Amino acid sequence: MTTDPLLDLLSEGEANVPNYRCGRQRNTVAVLEGAETGISIQISTLLGIYKTPQDGFSVKVWRRCRQKEELEALRKGDINRILTLDSYLIYNTIWALHSFLKSSQFHNNSIDDVYLDERGDLTADLDVVNWVIFPNKSVKKVKFGNLAKRVSQYFEFTVDQMSITQMEMLNKSLPLSRCVEGCHPGFMKVAQEGKPICCYDCLPCAEGTISTVEDAEKCTKCPADRFPNFIRDNCIPKIETFLSYQEHLGIILATLALLLSLVTVLALGIFIKFQDTPIVKANNRDLSYILLTSLLLSFLTSFLFIGQPKTATCLLRQTAFTNIFSVAISTVLAKTVTVVLAFLATKPGNNIQRWLGKTLANSIILSCSGIQVVLCSIWLGTSPPFPESDMYSQSAEIILQCNQGSVVMFYLALGYMGFLAVICFTVAFLARNLPGAFNEAKLITFSMLVFCSVWISFLPTYLSTKGKNMVAVQIFSMLVSSTGLLCCIFTPKCYIIFLRPDLNTKEHLMSK
């Protein structure tokens, strides 16, 4: 296969007779070949005899396919790349062979005429092509013209009209395969009943969900610590919220609690200073001290509800609130019972006087408040309160709050406090018409009426609010109810001590 063509190249005439020349001399300048290594060596052996140069411009190694391999055709792009590289190597090889090849034109047996410029550079014909990129990112090369150089520095430019028509068809936008425009992010597709699948409506994503791509089939929920933005195409972090000292509501409640605490301290100081006056003695000064102290602690308890919830504050909040208020109401109940027994003891032949004294009052306070202490101990021992993050009550906020642990125990402690208040109000109401010397029953009746009204309105308001507003409602109820007790019971006595000292006499009290 290799020897015959090579002998034909080296021989002249019809027969392959080496070294025989007849007629016009034809000198072979060089032989270009692109055979594999074995054949190239055979060619080199024959050409070496005639001192003819040999140039291998490309070496392609072929091998037999393995059992699991298949013979496949190269892609068109790979073929064009290989042929372009071979053509480039052929040109460089010709240029390196001999200076007389730098003429303006020469011919070969495989391609059209090849032209060189005045410097001997190859002037190749140019194809004018258009690369068409389809929506699926595939590419097609369309030739629609040619630029060719002729002998006398003359260029010939041709255009194929059919190819231009083909390009216009390829570049033409494809028709839409749907009845409506695409759904933007933040919307989801909903098929129209009775219409093709390409026809659909775009509905906004529901609250708490988003869609981040066009033509979303469904909306997805944001993580628990995030919420959708306004157009519902992205999730943004939620804000942690609690009743703090930095916001206006927290500042107002804290300031109010502090002022009321100072007023209570002032009232306690007045009663201690004027402890030997008849008005203080007549109203059982020891019980007044206990009541003022419990009211002071109830005001200070409000500070446990302000600030970020922690384990310690969550444990102390409700237990301190219910126990302190139970002591306050028990003290008011003890004062009321003492007033009633003191009136009954003045009747002739009545043996109730032996029950009067500190023992009865202290027993009432310890027994009534002790039950509340037991309830709170069971609460803390079984299911104590703890801090938690509520991510679901508010769409854009994470509420930092105290979980009550056992809701049953919370309302049980609150209910017992209400039970004491009802008993105290009932006893004071029945004793409202006692003589003037024992008129504290009227003040207690009014104070307990305010106390019960506040906590009756507290329950529906507390249950209808969420987050820090719920905490604010409880603090406000604590401050108002404690203020009611402070003002209704102690303000009239302070008025007599400072503004009407003529009424602060034993004779005046006994005259009524």
Q: How confident is the model at residue 137 (pLDDT cuts 50, 70, 90)?
A: low
Residue 92 contacts residue 56 (beta carbons within 8 Å): no
How far apart are alpha carbons 398 and 388 in whole angstroms?
10
For residue 60, the model assigns a pLDDT of 42
Residues 206, 285: one domain? no
CATH code (residue 329):
1.20.1070.10
Work out the percent of the chain whose per-residue pLDDT is above 70. 66
Residues 428, 461: one domain? yes
- Domain stops at, among 147, 174, 201: 174
| Mean pLDDT on 35-64 | 62
Residue in the block written with tokens 């026809």? 199
Q: Is residue 51 part of a domain?
A: no
Better-predicted residue by pLDDT, 307 or 195: 307
Backbone angles phi, psi at 339, to 5 degrees: -65, -45
Determine how β-strand 54-56 pairs with β-strand 31-33.
parallel
Work out the percent of the chain whose per-residue pLDDT is above 90. 36
Q: Is residue 37 part of a domain?
A: no
- For the chain, the average pLDDT equals 78
Q: How confident is the model at residue 306 (pLDDT cuts 50, 70, 90)?
A: very high
Least confident of 13-17, 137-141, 325-329, 379-383: 13-17
Residue 291 contacts residue 489 (beta carbons within 8 Å): yes
C-alpha distances out from residue 248 to 66, 243, 253, 258, 317, Å: 83, 10, 9, 15, 21
Q: How many CB atoms lie under 10 A from the CB of residue 122? A: 14
Residues 142, 264: one domain? no
Q: How confident is the model at residue 357 (pLDDT cuts 50, 70, 90)?
A: low
For residue 428, the model assigns a pLDDT of 85
153 pLDDT exceeds 50?
A: yes
Residue in the block written with tokens 């309830």? 375
Q: Is residue 30 part of a domain?
A: no
Nearest to 272 by CA among 436, 486, 497: 497
Nearest to 385 by CA among 321, 297, 437, 314: 314
HSE-up of residue 92 (Cα within 13 Å, Cβ side):
9
Name the residue range of residue 304's domain: 248-511
Q: Is residue 337 part of a domain?
A: yes
Residues 294, 385: one domain? yes
Residue in the block written with tokens 């604590």? 478
Torsion of CA 325, 328, 334, 340, to 10 degrees: -100
178, amino acid identity? R
Task: Give 210's strand partners.
Answer: 220
For residue 63, the model assigns a pLDDT of 44
Backbone angles phi, psi at 385, to 5 degrees: -65, 155
For residue 197, the model assigns a pLDDT of 72
Better-predicted residue by pLDDT, 299 or 19: 299
Quick one: residue 201, left, alpha or beta (phi over 0 = left, psi -120 to 50 = alpha)? beta
3 state DSSP class of 106:
strand
3 state DSSP class of 400:
strand
123, amino acid identity? T
Q: What is the pLDDT of residues 60-76, one digit of tens each?
A: 444 444 444 444 545 55
319 pLDDT exceeds 70?
A: yes
Better-predicted residue by pLDDT, 296 or 201: 296
Least confident of 47-51, 61-65, 89-93: 61-65
For residue 59, the model assigns a pLDDT of 40
Tell me, letter by letter, the H, E, C secondary structure of 184-247.
CCCEEEEECCCCCCCCEEEEECCCCEECCCCCCCCCEECCCCEEECCCCCCEEECEEECCCCCC
Backbone angles phi, psi at 115, to 5 degrees: -115, 145
Residues 284, 322: one domain? yes
| Mean pLDDT on 204-213 | 90
Q: How confident is the model at residue 108 (pLDDT cuts 50, 70, 90)?
A: very low
For residue 479, the model assigns a pLDDT of 96
Q: How confident is the model at residue 151 (pLDDT cuts 50, 70, 90)?
A: low
For residue 69, the model assigns a pLDDT of 44
505 pLDDT exceeds 60?
A: yes
CB neighbour list of residue 499: distance below 8 Å, 6 or more residues apart? none
102 pLDDT exceeds 70?
A: no
Residues 322, 441: one domain? yes
Q: Is residue 372 part of a domain?
A: yes
Q: Is residue 21 part of a domain?
A: no
Residues 311, 214: one domain? no
Run of H or E residues at 386: strand 386-390
Better-predicted residue by pLDDT, 424 or 118: 424
Q: What is the pLDDT of residues 171-180, one digit of tens each?
A: 666 555 566 6
Task: Give 132's strand partners.
Answer: 140
Residues 258, 385: one domain? yes
C-alpha distances out from residue 104 to 73, 100, 122, 150, Å: 38, 10, 9, 10
Q: How many CB atoms lie under 10 A from the CB of residue 324? A: 24
| Mean pLDDT on 247-262 | 95
Q: Is residue 138 part of a domain?
A: yes
User: What is the token pair recorded at 137?
Assistant: 């990112």
- Environment class of 164 (CB within 10 Å of its CB; exposed 0-12, middle 13-18, buried 19+): middle
For residue 379, the model assigns a pLDDT of 95
| Mean pLDDT on 256-279 | 93
For residue 75, the model assigns a pLDDT of 56
Residue 202 contacts residue 173 (beta carbons within 8 Å): no
| Mean pLDDT on 462-491 | 92
Q: How confident is the model at residue 122 (pLDDT cuts 50, 70, 90)?
A: low
Least confident of 86-95, 191-200, 240-249, 296-305: 86-95
Residues 223, 121: one domain? no
Number of separate domains in the chain? 3
**Residue 506 Cα to chain centre, angstroms:** 72
Residues 325, 279: one domain? yes
Max CA pair span of the chain = 173
Residues 214, 302: one domain? no
DSSP for residue 437? G
Q: Is residue 182 part of a domain?
A: no
Residues 232, 256: one domain? no
